[in-house]
Structure 1
């Protein structure tokens, strides 16, 4: 495997460092890629081949406390669009699309909600939805259902989940993958290349310890601070019916809530089916 990409960072107005990587065509149409949980900017490599072919510039930032980005105390979901505006301004990008995969989904919705004058289109790809909505956890694996389902009674769950992934990234990434991806459809997608990329992104997620990932979990499990019905940006939703990590019900919930949304379902897709359709997803964002 010979992945090549560039790592960068900017200093934000509040003094924090925001790290990011770039993939695809450096002169292409800009798409901001938001990584999953727990992952990092390095996950953006999954879009690289398709982005180069389509003439798309992928900018993949680390969230605060992940990878190269400094932790921010008490941040909220709606703080993220402010960071993205500063990054876009630094790169002299006026308008852009956003793509949130898995745990990056809520961050894509936040940008679509907060930045309608700048976000041209949004893609939520197997994106995590609100976990406290009845039915949204139906169909996922038992370990995920227990973790998300008990977040209100036991907020420590987010810390424990982050710590477990942190230990897994150090001791046995293979075991972490097996626990994290329960669907046989996902295991069949695990080429050596995909495994190594996932391992690398997971390790990078915990470069600063567990604070960033644990606070992400806190954000997912609490009020997001806005109504999905107020999103006006065209939003594309991509979900697999066999996904054991993020329920198809979450995609259907997003579709019911976001007025200008379009839901695409792969009846045989797991959480990783997106690797087969990166070009389709990106094409929607630039046409």
Structure 2
């Protein structure tokens, strides 16, 4: 829910190595983007912003990668401007409606002002905790000592960079994050569409240890969306979009979809182009996905027909039993009437 333009620092070099250009716009009320009243913020209006931005930048078509609360906005683009999407939409730990995910339902009963205040306070506390100096480091040496920086491991440097980006992303504006929170829980309005309405190809990456979006929710997406593929990352958490291997897989897939054999320098030499291999792998994976969905549909249909057959047999048996019972009762009634008639 923070601004995304800072996170380009993690991905820029990797994107460049694949010949890709990253554009990370901040949604209204996030980062340096202008505020928008929560009543005026609709998920289906976001595609118009993206379309106008790409027209200004002279970008006719593009790919979309989104994380968490960005998922509804990304899928809205598939609903409103599918002609501008180049290929697959990539979602990392996507938000799924609470009516489907069956999580955080209790928040529907929390008053909106309380939710906004709690969200803002939580972010502020998080900033304070992340911004404080470690107890083992002298204040004078924190962030300014060249010797300390030289001694830091690569992991520590990346961790500090991540925390600095996190602080910066929330420091500029909070209204958009609050609006996104309200949007996620559909407090004032729904997304304006259902995920099941999206027939554009979607590839979901999700961690098995995600503590915000349950695995069952993304499996629901795979089972119910027309063209959705799911990749589960063992041990991955909600910050999965910061894992290099996940982003590398996405960028490689995008590069493969953009690959044009006649214009590829690697394809002009005897050695096999690795992008061609990726294209072939993508094709095989999609065929397997379609096959699995078809088999699942047939299995579901067979189960449904079996249940109907059993129900029909039960109904027929019940009808026969009812007829027998009626037949058994008729003579008894006639005998009684005959006895009464004879008596009189």
Q: Same fold (TM over 0.5)?
A: yes
Instruction: Give distance in 2, aligned partners of 1:165 and 1:127.
Output: 22
Q: Secondary structure at the match of 2:248?
A: helix
Change (3 A) 1:227 1:123: same
Change (3 A) 1:160 1:98: same
Which of 157, 161, 165 is equivalent to 1:196? Answer: 161
Instruction: Give distance in 2, aligned partners of 1:84 and 1:151.
Output: 30
Aligned Cα root-mean-square deviation (Å): 2.3
Q: Secondary structure at the match of 1:58?
A: coil
8 Å CA contact retained: 2:3, 2:27:
no
Report the alpha carbon displacement of residue 156 of structure 1 after superposing the two structures with TM: 3.6
Moved more, 86-95 or 190-199: 190-199
> Where does residue 80 of structure 1 map in the other structure?
46
Instruction: Give distance in 2, aligned partners of 1:166 and 1:228.
Output: 29
8 Å CA contact retained: 1:245, 1:271:
yes
Q: How does 1:131-210 map to 2 (within 5 A)?
A: 131-133=98-100, 135=102, 137=103, 148-154=104-110, 155-168=112-125, 170-173=127-130, 191-208=156-173, 210=174
What is the number of equivalent residue pairs in this alignment?
A: 226
8 Å CA contact retained: 1:123, 1:285:
no
8 Å CA contact retained: 2:3, 2:170:
yes
Moved more, 196-205 or 214-223: 196-205
* Structure with more of its chain in helix, by fraction: 2
2:250 is the alignment partner of 1:284: no
Query: Which of structures 1 and 2 has the bigger CA Rg?
Result: 2
TM-score by length of 1: 0.72
Instruction: Give distance in 2, aligned partners of 1:234 and 1:205.
Output: 32
* Structure with more of its chain in strand, by fraction: 1
**Structure 1 spans left out of the alignment, 5+ residues:** 1-36, 138-147, 176-188
8 Å CA contact retained: 2:101, 2:216:
no
Deviation track 1:169-211 (CA, whole Å, cap 9, x = no partner) reads 5422269xxxxxxxxxxxxx97431442343244333413x21
8 Å CA contact retained: 1:109, 1:228:
yes
Which of 151, 168, 175 is equivalent to 1:211? Answer: 175
2:189 is the alignment partner of 1:232: no
Moved more, 63-72 or 162-171: 162-171
